Amino acid sequence: MSTIYAAKHTRNDDMLYNRSGKSGLKLSAISLGLWHNFGGGDSYENGRSLVRYAFDSGITHFDLANNYGPPPGSAEETFGKILQDDLRHYRDEIIISSKAGYTMWQGPYGDWGSKKYLVSSLDQSLSRMKLDYVDIYYHHRPDPDTPLEETMSALDLIVRQGKALYVGLSNYNVEQTRAASEILRKLGTPCIIHQPRYSMLDRKPEYGLLDVLEEEGIGSIAYSPLSKGILTDRYLHGIPDDSRVAKKSPFLHPEELTGEVMNKVQALQNLAAQRGQKLSQMALVWVLRNNRVTSALIGASKVSQIEDAVLSLNNRAFTAEELVRIDRILTGESQ
């Protein structure tokens, strides 16, 4: 029989909490996502230890989506069980997000951005997690065929129904974000957060999106800040058996570990070592470097990876020279 979990009293002491845009909501600078390692085929006890360790370290934000697993929905079920087993007394200290937008169920109502899909999918998510409400509900990807007004009014409705406290957008481009934000503001349910992919190996948000978010008062949470594990020491000496690549995730293929990428990773690793940091740690504080990113949204398969992430916050400052060296490594000008 497992012992009753009591969170550490000191859990919030060393974490940094950043305000999401102009909202009242603060998020831990490191958040934990449950995309991988929390599915039906993964070890429940490992997932449980990851969430417990994260919460004990001051991580207050856990990110889910209807389709995380596999099978789709199982990560929400796992998280619901962890909440029941360990965290139910701490619900008011936790920010839980979910999303809908990708294929979830058969037929025309289980995908994209209709009001029918968003509202019914959230009901399913709440039932899987055994929750009355989520803190943040996202539209997971833009839908080219549903009027933006319909999708945004679904988010507004969900908040008015009390099923979510805040709403966010994910994977929306600059123009889509501006348009959606305007509609949501008029509806009285402002967008408070955007979830883009952002890392040293994918700097797209720097080309306009982060500017729009600042103008609109929207926070941002960078997903895959470690480029799914590439921006760590994981693959510097081959492909470890317990890695995401070896486990044949459909979202990370060995072909992505090209010579060019790995040369950059090695050069970044050398620079991180000069800063007295692991590469994974430098990669996280790099996305957080200019206050435009509210939180770095990591994944983890081991407790030690969460420990690395949290400790990264102790060494956050970059010199101008270090930033130039990183830019030159990333553009391939130097190694």
Q: List residues binding ligand NDP (CB under 6 A).
A: 33-36, 63, 140, 170-171, 195, 223-229, 232, 234, 243-244, 280, 297-301, 305, 308
DSSP 284: H
DSSP-assigned beta bridge partners for residue 17: 28
Cβ(34)–Cβ(223) under 8 Å?
A: no
Query: Residue 280 CB, nearest distance to ligand NDP (Å)?
Result: 4
Q: How far is the CB of 102 from ligand NDP (least distance, A)?
A: 8
**Residues whose CB falls within 8 Å of the CB of residue 256, separated by 6 or more in sequence, listed in order:** 230
Q: How far is the CB of 32 from ligand NDP (least distance, A)?
A: 7
- CB closer to ligand NDP, 6 vs 302: 302
Which residue's CB is nearer to ligand NDP, number 136 or number 319?
Answer: 136
CB 168 within 8 A of CB 140: no
- As to burial, measured by CB atoms within 10 angstroms (0-12 exposed, 13-18 middle, 19+ buried), residue 2 is exposed
Between 288 and 298, whose beta carbon lies closer to ligand NDP? 298
Instruction: Name which of 61 and 163 has its Cβ closer to ligand NDP.
Output: 61
Continuous segment of H or E residues that includes residue 296: strand 295-298
Residues 6+ apart with CB under 8 A from 279: 231, 232, 233, 265, 268, 269, 272
Phi, psi of 161 (to 5 degrees): -75, -10
Task: Tell me which H or E stretch contains 268.
Answer: helix 259-274
- Around 237, how many Cα atoms within 13 Å sit in the side-chain half-sphere? 1
Of 201, 224, 197, the C-alpha closest to 210 is 197
Contacts of 75 (CB under 8 A, 6+ apart): 34, 35, 38, 39, 64, 65, 68, 69
Which pair of tokens denotes residue 79?
């998280």
Name the minimum Å distance from CB 321 to ligand NDP: 25
Nearer to ligand NDP, 162 or 174 (CB): 174
CB of 238: closest distance to ligand NDP in angstroms?
Answer: 13
| Minimum distance of ligand NDP from residue 188's CB (angstroms) | 25
Residue 186 CB, shortest distance to ligand NDP, in Å, is 25
Task: Identify which of residues 278 and 325 has a Cβ nearer to ligand NDP in the complex.
Answer: 278
In terms of CB distance, is 2 or 282 closer to ligand NDP? 282
- Please, what is the minimum distance in Å from the beta carbon of residue 221 to ligand NDP? 8
Residue 79 and residue 129 in contact, taking contact as beta carbons nearer than 8 Å: yes
* For ligand NDP, the closer CB: 273 or 324: 273
